Amino acid sequence: MTELKEDQEDQNRQPQRRLCDFCSENTALLYCRADCAKLCFSCDREVHSTNQLFTKHTRWLLCDSCDSSPASILCCTDSCVFCHNCDWESHNLSLSPAHERRPLEGFAGCPSVSELLSILGFEDLGKKALLYGDSVTSDGGGYGFSDWLVWDTPSVVSLDDLIAPNDSGHNFQAIGLPPLPKNRNAACGKHKEEILSQLRELSKLEPNSSDDQDDIVPFQFMEPAQNRHLGFKGSGFMQNSEHAVVPSAEGSAFNWCSDTGEFTDQGFSSSLADCFIETKCLLPDRDSDVGDASGGANEEQSHNPPIAETFQMVPKIAHRELNSQERVTAVSRYKEKKKTRRYEKHIRYVSRKVRAESRTRIKGRFAKMDMHQ
DNA sequence: CGGTTCATTTGTGGTCGTCCGCACC
DNA sequence: AGGTGCGGACGACCACAAATGAACC
């Protein structure tokens, strides 16, 4: 909590560094490489919902250290997100090479508040709790925001993920980086309070905002003993479930170190969780279902399986032995997804790009300059 | 310690060739 | 089941300005 307070003070001390490039009012929390812009959640939605092209822009959280680059590393020890540069400086040069870190990924599209919560690792919180955050205090029995801000993220690794291109500005590769967990986004660094605050505001603007999938039951409750003995603090589905399961699908050398000795192949668990996310996205968006805001949560649940139920399915699958058919299906989905995975190219030096585009070529290759010209 | 010089490394894009998965016969 | 063709994905290639690092004054 003290750290949290310090973080907030830090934010207050440097308000200008994180000003939204679009509205110049709110604190910027996201970075869009395609636009080279720092954005608050509100402007991010405004900007990236205008047309289908913009929705393809991938956005990252803003680096907690330099406040100017997309964060690609989460330091669980510091509860901070870093860009490659700052991660390098923080964890290589000095102090804390042993810090527990893991990669982060951005998100694209135009996610709803609920989806953003999920992306940022707040799926436990839910939109409803977000909206009525005041009623659930951190002191006493309820779950205040601050309670959700403290978690441990598992160390994970997949060989594929380690091969992921470094699209940040330099060539530094994260050092001693553990494999990617299924949910690579489940973290939001030092600015959690600001993130939650902006999401809360955003949530109020969404139609049907009070009637959401936020009957999401904290995952740790559904997954009692297993994850708890792993030392998780109820950080949400992704953090927990990722550890849980999954048979080895592609011989990944990196496994979830489940003390239970269950199958814990990371690659496969990734696929499961990814498929799971896709399933979630395919569900009717109740946020957009403006016309049906009357039914109570329970009633609605009975008609339309809430996302929370979908989330619950995974641990159920996870804890039983997958039969061969399921395994084959999951593996093929994983391969398919891996096949189509794309990363936006990041231009570090625009001047070089301009020059390269204007250079003479022979069959696509750069040709020598004509000395006589 | 700061500035300068020099050597080395990096980054850039269009095309080609190779590999792989898939469909079809 | 095996062979063939097609299409998508992806790495290699090229020259050179810019960036970076080391050495020196």
Q: Rounded to whole angstroms, how far apart are CA atoms A145 and A130?
A: 8
CB count in 10 Å sphere of residue A108? 16
List own/partner pairs for A349-353 with CB under 8 A and 24 or more apart. none
Q: Is the pLDDT of residue A141 over 50?
A: no
Looking across all nucleic acid strands, the nucleotide with the smallest C1' to CA distance from residue A342 is: C9
- Measure A285 CA to C10 C1' (Å): 36
CB-CB contact of A199 with A113 (8 Å): yes
Q: Which of A180, A313, A189, A359 is nearest to A254 (CA)?
A: A180
Taking the CA atoms of residue A260, residue A313, residue A213 and residue A276 in that order, the dihedral angle to the nearest 10 degrees is 90
Q: Rounded to whole angstroms, how far apart are CA atoms A355 and A350?
A: 9
Q: Is the pLDDT of residue A225 over 80?
A: no
Bases of chain B within 7 A of a CB of the protein? 10-16, 22
Q: Is the pLDDT of residue A7 over 70?
A: no
Whole-number pLDDT of residue A6: 40
Q: Go through chain A and tell me how many residues it has.
A: 373
- Measure A347 CA to B20 C1' (Å): 29
Q: Rounded to whole angstroms, how far apart are CA atoms A177 and A66?
A: 20
Whole-number pLDDT of residue A366: 92
Q: Rounded to whole angstroms, how far apart are CA atoms A271 and A61?
A: 23
Q: Rounded to whole angstroms, how far apart are CA atoms A61 and A64?
A: 9
Q: What is the pLDDT of residues A93-129, one digit of tens each?
A: 444 545 666 667 677 777 777 777 777 766 555 555 5
Average pLDDT for chain A: 53
Q: Rounded to whole angstroms, how far apart are CA atoms A109 and A126?
A: 20
Looking across all nucleic acid strands, the nucleotide with the smallest C1' to CA distance from residue A165 is: C10
Adjacent-strand bridge partners of A362: A365
CB proximity A228–strand B (7 Å threshold): no
Whole-number pLDDT of residue A207: 56
Whole-number pLDDT of residue A365: 92
Looking across all nucleic acid strands, the nucleotide with the smallest C1' to CA distance from residue A170 is: B10
Q: Rounded to whole angstroms, how far apart are CA atoms A252 and A180?
A: 12
Q: Where are the alpha helices (DSSP H) in chain A?
A: 2-13, 41-48, 52-55, 84-88, 113-119, 126-131, 145-148, 159-163, 192-205, 219-222, 224-228, 237-244, 266-282, 297-303, 307-318, 324-340, 350-358
Q: Is A133 or A61 the better-scoring residue by pLDDT?
A: A61
Q: Is the pLDDT of residue A245 over 80?
A: no
- Measure A324 CA to B24 C1' (Å): 29
CB proximity A361–strand B (7 Å threshold): yes
Adjacent-strand bridge partners of A366: A361
CB-CB contact of A48 with A57 (8 Å): yes
Looking across all nucleic acid strands, the nucleotide with the smallest C1' to CA distance from residue A348 is: B11
**Percentage of chain A surpassing pLDDT 70?**
31
Looking across all nucleic acid strands, the nucleotide with the smallest C1' to CA distance from residue A338 is: C9
Tell me what the mean pLDDT of segment A164-190 comes to.
41
* Confidence band for A187, pLDDT divided at 50, 70 and 90: low
Whole-number pLDDT of residue A361: 92
User: Which residues of chain A between 144 and 203 are close to nucleic strand B, CB under 7 A?
Assistant: 170-171
Q: Is the pLDDT of residue A229 over 50?
A: no
Tell me what the mean pLDDT of segment A305-327 comes to.
43
Identify the weakest region by mean pLDDT among A32-36, A203-207, A298-302: A298-302
Q: What is the pLDDT of residues A21-60, one digit of tens each?
A: 777 778 888 887 777 678 888 878 877 776 666 776 778 7
